[in-house]
Amino acid sequence: MSGNSYYYRKIHSLLGVIPVGFFLLEHMLTNYAAFNEGHQGFIDSVAWLNRLPLVLALEIVGIWLPLLYHGVYGLYVAYTARNNVSHYGYFRNVMFSLQRITGVITFIFVAWHFFETRFQVTLGNVTHEELGVHMHDITTQPLLFTFYVIGVLAATFHFANGLWSFLVSWGITIGPRAQRVSTYVCMGLFVLMAVMFILSLTAFTGSDFQELPATATK
């Protein structure tokens, strides 16, 4: 693998932003509808996604296969990577380490979340309309709520800090000043996304999500 590691890492970096990063942003907006528009708004957002043409093919080719490659290869990178204090300095090595740690946490979290939601829909145990109620049942359990908060914090940090690395490795932010500015922008993105995800989680715990809205049961 070492002879092709440069290309594997390039693909890994690219897929972390396109399409996996875009999927995370879309997922954030869909879930934020639970906080911003309530249960019916969340159902409408999910329904809109599932009305897209060739949605299953889009999921497999545009989300799950890229996510699987990024996750599995990312675990390999996390296992084999070594910090380089003399070259990057203390702050960047801390971020380097956090990127690997949050990558492992995110991999576990995404696998669990997929099993609890999308896979259950595939099995027919939960309908798309019932996802809000299902998330209510999950988030009202304190341990699972804590696990989800840790998971979304890890995922959003991993994406935002990975975006910084992507901009550097693809030659978009070259000089120290550009990289410093991108650090602020990426960390600001992390805070914004983390807040929106956590607000979504708290919304799912509300009584509005205990049962389907009347319009959804007709």
Would you state the structure tokens that stand for residue 95, as one six-digit string? 């971020």
Answer whether residue 100 is part of any domain.
yes
Determine the residue type at 207.
S
pTM above 0.75, yes or no: yes
Here the CATH number for the domain that contains residue 116 is 1.20.1300.10
User: Which residues form the domain of 83?
Assistant: 2-212
By the 10 Å C-beta count (0-12 exposed, 13-18 middle, 19+ buried), 3 is classed as exposed
> What band does 212 get if pLDDT is binned at 50, 70 and 90?
very high
Residue 106 CA to residue 101 CA, distance in Å, equals 9
Answer whether residue 11 is part of any domain.
yes
Q: Is-contact 96 83, C-beta < 8 A?
A: yes
Q: What is the pLDDT of residue 3?
A: 55
Overall domain count for the chain: 1
Residue 67 CA to residue 106 CA, distance in Å, equals 11
Q: What is the mean pLDDT of the chain?
A: 91
CA distances from 136 to 57, 143, 172 (A): 29, 13, 42
pLDDT of residue 92 exceeding 70, the answer is yes
Answer whether residue 96 is part of any domain.
yes
pLDDT of residue 114 exceeding 90, the answer is yes
Quick: pLDDT tens for 18-70. 999 999 999 999 999 999 999 999 999 999 999 988 888 999 999 999 999 99
Answer whether residue 72 is part of any domain.
yes
Answer whether residue 218 is part of any domain.
no
Q: What is the pLDDT of residue 104?
A: 95
Answer whether residue 217 is part of any domain.
no
Answer whether residue 30 is part of any domain.
yes
